[in-house]
Amino acid sequence: MAEPVVDILMYHSVSDRGGATAIEPATFAAQMDAIAEAGLPVIALDDLLAARDGRGALAPHSLILTFDDGFQDFADAAWPVLERHGFRPIVYLPTAHVGRSEDWRGIADPPRPLMGWGTIAALAAEGVAFGSHSVSHADLDALSPEALHAELERSRQRIEDRLGRRVTHFAPPYGIAGPAVRAEIARLYRSSVGTRLGRARPGDDPFDLPRLEMHYFRDIGRWRAHLAGRGAAYLAARRGLRALRGMVARPWQGTVSGSAR
Ligand SMILES: [Zn+2]
């Protein structure tokens, strides 16, 4: 039997603001409807890790829903749709920005507001999981070991203090996490997702899990085809384009290709 495949979907903002980090609410709703119609299970990261450890089994194809940054539009636009379907996502919070606005590299203009702790606590009670996205939304590879440790440890502590539950999942800002950073994440968390494009499997390194950038699946026909198991060629083409762009863009720009994550 083939190893089960898990699509870890990556979202940021669900709004009409445009740009690579925003998905229109109607498109998001259609993407979620397509999952429900396909009858595919939405699982939690803990389920993937349990399967990895031999403590549980997975369906041949399941999905995990992730949202980076904790924008206010998650509560306003995304959660009502998810709740209707009974889908349970995870939201990664940069804790210094909670209740404020984005102010990191490549943000929208004007900056988009992030959820406050009251909203986050209410969502947690309704079934939303929360992970850490660092304290300050820093480029972790650029930090000293001490500063890196503080970004990882303090953000986790803050969310745990606020929500009274363990925080075991991490998403590095911009998807940037070299070997040293990944090793430190592994000391403090149980998983880390990046921006590497691909489908996850239980045997994958849990600290370098690939995700699907859902901006690439705004065409609902394309998304339905993927869910039906007919998306391999499109995904391979997208991965090739990204690799090419990365090689061209990085040397002199010194930035991550694409837009801010
Ligand atoms: Zn981010």
Tokens of 173: 């800002």
Is 202:48 a contact under the CB 8 Å cutoff? yes
Q: Which residue has the higher pLDDT, 247 or 202?
A: 202
Query: Domain for residue 203, yes or no?
Result: yes
As for how many domains the chain has, the answer is 1
Distance from the alpha carbon of residue 137 to the mean position of ligand 1, in angstroms: 6
Outline where 75-170 has alpha helix (H): 79-85, 117-126, 145-163
**Average pLDDT, integer, range 233-257:** 68
Is 95:132 a contact under the CB 8 Å cutoff? yes
Q: Report the alpha-carbon distance of residue 134 to residue 40 in Å, rounded.
A: 31
* pLDDT, the chain, mean: 93
Query: Domain for residue 261, yes or no?
Result: no
Angle between helices 117-126 and 145-163 (to 10 degrees): 60
- pLDDT digit string, tens, across residues 32-66: 999 999 999 999 999 999 999 999 999 999 999 99
**Average pLDDT, integer, range 242-253:** 61
pTM of structure: 0.93
What is the enclosing helix (H) or strand (E) of 132? strand 129-132
Query: Domain for residue 143, yes or no?
Result: yes
Distance from the alpha carbon of residue 27 to the mean position of ligand 1, in angstroms: 21
Confidence at residue 252, expressed as pLDDT on a 0 to 100 scale: 41
Q: Report the alpha-carbon distance of residue 124 to residue 70 in Å, rounded.
A: 12
Distance from the alpha carbon of residue 127 to the mean position of ligand 1, in angstroms: 22
Distance from the alpha carbon of residue 55 to the mean position of ligand 1, in angstroms: 31
Query: Domain for residue 260, yes or no?
Result: no
Query: Domain for residue 165, yes or no?
Result: yes
Distance from the alpha carbon of residue 68 to the mean position of ligand 1, in angstroms: 5
pLDDT at 253 over 90: no
To which residue do tokens 């930090």 refer? 143
- pLDDT digit string, tens, across residues 143-183: 999 999 999 999 999 999 999 999 999 999 999 999 999 99
Q: Which residue has the higher pLDDT, 255 or 87?
A: 87
Tokens of 245: 């762009």
Distance from the alpha carbon of residue 228 to the mean position of ligand 1, in angstroms: 30
SS percent in the chain: helix, strand, coil, step 5: 45, 20, 35
Task: Spell 198-212 as b/e; 16+ CB within 10 A means b.
Answer: bbbbbebebbbbbbb
Angle between helices 179-188 and 145-163 (to 10 degrees): 30
Distance from the alpha carbon of residue 59 to the mean position of ligand 1, in angstroms: 30
Distance from the alpha carbon of residue 117 to the mean position of ligand 1, in angstroms: 18
Distance from the alpha carbon of residue 241 to the mean position of ligand 1, in angstroms: 22
Task: Return the CATH number at 97.
Answer: 3.20.20.370
Give the Å distances, CA to CA, from 7 to 83, 107, 111, 200, 213: 19, 26, 29, 6, 10
Distance from the alpha carbon of residue 133 to the mean position of ligand 1, in angstroms: 7
Query: Domain for residue 47, yes or no?
Result: yes
Distance from the alpha carbon of residue 260 to the mean position of ligand 1, in angstroms: 7
Distance from the alpha carbon of residue 105 to the mean position of ligand 1, in angstroms: 9
- pLDDT digit string, tens, across residues 100-140: 999 998 888 899 999 999 999 999 999 999 999 999 999 99
Query: Domain for residue 78, yes or no?
Result: yes
SS3 63: strand
Domain that holds residue 93: 5-253
Distance from the alpha carbon of residue 226 to the mean position of ligand 1, in angstroms: 25
Distance from the alpha carbon of residue 215 to the mean position of ligand 1, in angstroms: 15
Tokens of 143: 């930090």
Q: Which residue type is seen at 15?
A: S
Query: Domain for residue 258, yes or no?
Result: no
Contacts of 69 (CB under 8 A, 6+ apart): 12, 13, 21, 92, 93, 94, 97, 102, 114, 133, 137
Q: Report the alpha-carbon distance of residue 44 to residue 89 in Å, rounded.
A: 7
